[in-house]
Structure 1
Amino acid sequence: MGMVIDGQWSDEDRIIEDGAFKRAPSLFDLEIPREVVNALRNESGRYHLIASMSCPWSQRAILARQLKGLVADVPLHLAGGERIEGYPANGGDPWRVPGTDRDVVHLHELYTLSLPDYTGRVTVPILWDSQTLRIVSNESARIMRAFDASPDPNSLDYTLVPDALSVAIDRLNLQLHDGLSNAAYRAGFAESQAAYDTAVRDVFKTLDGLETRLASQRFLHGPVITESDWRLFPTLVRFDIIYYLFSRCTLRRLVDYPHLWAYARDLFSWPGVADTVDFDAIRRAAYVDHPETNPFGILAIAPDIDWRAPHTRAQLGPALVATRTGDYRTVEPVKRTAI
């Protein structure tokens, strides 16, 4: 896949250790300052979200931007296309970097514009400051928290991380990352049988636990929808079309878990959420955009599943959101209005 070393693109990649995939830490994984959070709306258009519809980590940030009413204030630029030197900035065409008169073709050029001697992988999402010409963050968890912390004056001002659940949310987020979201990639990139077997065991142990958890409650933390739900959702969206075959997580499909599959469709039905899902982009990124893994570019046929089928999850109780004052409000997800 390649990476940047001392400010220069290299086809070398340092993601495998002893046959196992290791996700490298990011130099831009820092807490986003409160002044940036405040400026997201107060300085509308200053900060840009650069993301890919194929990437689950990107989708988390796109979801938070959509759910928290930041669409008009934080412009979204979608990167994607065949990986020549990592992510193309604009499908292989030049793209004008916000705040500059400079065009780039590859996203690694944005990294070195921000940090000339950068060494590391080039990933999305990216929160870009068009005034200081710096990457604020390339960590989806940080970006989600920043978007959530920005009060919405035009709608019900709710939070995805209520104080009463924050410890439980952080704990479950870590379990979901280690046992499922990242484990699916550990399975797909494994270069030894032992590494693959360990990753797949983690994936299905986590899915089995989620199926049990969601049998009696509507969302991961009970009746209230939280950040954990929206961090999990992009992984579920990709499971049957990518992870099941391409990442060799073939023990069971998402649709084989009745509670988890209905829960996923419940989230998909929320206003604006379907707009963040591009099944074609997800499949093309896996099968076409990486010629080294699929040299003939054969695009696997998508499974015949209906994400818009009725989910009946309302029988477990109404959906709640948490306000910043600590109250819980019932919402009707189809309309996303408070009751």
Structure 2
Amino acid sequence: MSGDDSDSQAAKSNAAYGKKPFKRSKSHFADRVTADGRDGWPVEAGRYRLVISRACPWASRAAISRRLLGLESALSLAVVDPIQDDRSWRFTLDPDGRDPVLGIRYLSEAYDARETGYPGGVSVPALVDEVSGKLVTNDYQQLTLDLATEWRDLHRPGAPDLYPQPLRDEINDVMDGIYRDVNNGVYRAGFAASQSEYEAACRDVFRRLEETSRRLADRRYLVGDSITEADIRLFTTLVRFDAVYHGHFKCNRWKLSEDPVLWAYARDLYQTPGFGDTVDFDHIKRHYYEVHTGINPTGIVPLGPDLDGWLTPHHREGFGGRPFGDGTAPGPVPDGEEVPVTGQP
């Protein structure tokens, strides 16, 4: 396919957003990398490569979990260009537009290596087997839970327990509501094809945010007294809220920065090692506003909002709590994985 044809096809695909009811598809490749290797993929240091987009909230969960758990030396990281074309995620940020470990230009090549002619979408996060070049899983819901549990033998000393057994029922319950109404709800609002569909989704978003704000009014974290998987999943939506969901997805009843509780909670996490140091606001804004031409046909990326507020005092430490539980903070961001200055407040 020629470059002109490729650009034309990408435009047609991106322009489809907002033209039909939004429905998130299930992950097609749901194999798991486990300690006992029961799916044929055993946990093994240096065997797998985690492919993410810093623009994507689902992929950002995996990036945060990897940092908090200290899996950097065991699980390599690839970051794709925030702007997709018709073949989806591409490695144009790397020299010669090719991932230096996998040797591929498009993530779709790892999908093809796993299943020739796979008809579905190419999504991140994706875990790829470095030896065979095959996609292992794109199951964004299960991946981070497995990093927290199945990969324990490779965790850094002092890694937090992000999915503690005694709290799992409560964590799951909180995460289910947040996923349905907030994580996925902003997309249902943003890609709605009718007024009624949009209004229903938008109401769900703010109803759940208001409920969550009340929950966090007298506690530092969503479940227990330390950071868990539930906080990671909420954070990746909150950190994008004012930058893209408020305007681009029309979730504009109020801004995150206008809710004192949620705004302080989000800043608290952003300033915690492992969270803000994975966030690239430049990638986030350019992806949403440039790729979703169906709802932003000009492709113009807004200058705002002002990001300096993310570094202001939050005063949430007054609630007590221990961010990493019995563990410790992660170390410095590894060389080569730093977020560019343009992506930071």
Structure 2 equivalent of residue 273 of structure 1: 275
Say if 2:79 is the partner of 1:78. Answer: yes
Paired residue for 1:263? 265
1:317 correspondence with 2:337: no
Per-residue Cα deviation, 1:176-212 (whole angstroms, up to 9, x for no partner): 1101010100111011111101110110001000110
Alignment of structure 1 residues 74-153 onto 2, 5 Å:
74-91=75-92, 94-96=97-99, 98=101, 103-104=104-105, 106-149=106-149, 150-151=151-152, 152=154
1:20 offset after TM fit, Å? 2.1
Aligned-partner Cα distance in 1 for 2:183–2:208: 10
Task: Judge conservation of contact 2:18–2:294 (CA < 8 Å) in 1.
Answer: no
Aligned partner of 1:173 in structure 2 is 175
Amino acid corresponding to residue 215 of structure 2 in structure 1:
R
When the two chains are superposed, the root-mean-square deviation of aligned CA atoms in Å is: 2.8
Which structure is higher in helix share? 2
Q: Which residue of 1 aligns with 2:336?
A: none
- Measured after TM superposition, the shift of residue 139 of structure 1 is 2.0
Whole-angstrom distance in 2 between the partners of 1:184 and 1:193? 15
1:299 CA drift (Å) = 1.3
3-state DSSP class of the match of 1:160? coil
Could you say which structure has the higher strand fraction? 1
Cα deviation, 1:29-74, whole Å, max 9, x if unaligned, reads: 344333459954xx43210000001000010000011000011221
Report the equivalent of 1:52.
53
Aligned to 1:4: none
Q: Report Cα offsets for 1:127-184 as digits up to 9, x if no partner.
A: 1111243222112222211211222564214311111111111111111110101010
Counterpart CA distance in 1 for 2:110 and 2:99 is: 10
- One-letter amino acid of the counterpart of residue 138, structure 2: N
Give me the whole-angstrom Cα distance separating, in 1, the residues matched to 2:140 and 2:329.
27
Cα 1:108–1:333 change in 2 (3 A) is closer
**Measured at CA, do residues 279 and 301 of structure 1 come closer, stay the same or move farther in structure 2, by a change above 3 Å?**
same
Corresponding residue SS for 1:266: helix
Instruction: Rate the CA distance shift 1:320–1:94 in 2: closer, same or farther, 3 A.
Output: closer
Counterparts of 1:271 and 1:19 in 2: how far apart (Å)? 40
The share of aligned pairs that are identical, in percent, is: 35
* Distance in 1 of aligned mates of 2:99 and 2:187: 32
TM-score normalised to structure 1 length: 0.84
Which residue, out of 285, 288, 293, partners 2:287?
285
Name the count of aligned residue pairs.
Answer: 315
Partner of 1:239: 241
Paired residue for 2:228, among 226, 229, 235?
A: 226
Give unpaired runs (5+ residues) of structure 1. 1-8, 323-328
SS at match of 1:237: helix
Contact 2:55 2:82 in 1 (8 A): no
- Letter aligned with residue 316 of structure 1: F
SS across alignment from 1:171: helix
Code of the residue aligned with 2:126 in structure 1: it is I
Give the match's secondary structure for 1:215: coil
Q: For structure 2, which runs of at least 5 residues remain unmatched after alignment?
A: 1-8, 333-345
Counterpart for residue 33 of structure 1: 34
Q: Is 1:64 aligned to 2:65, yes or no? A: yes
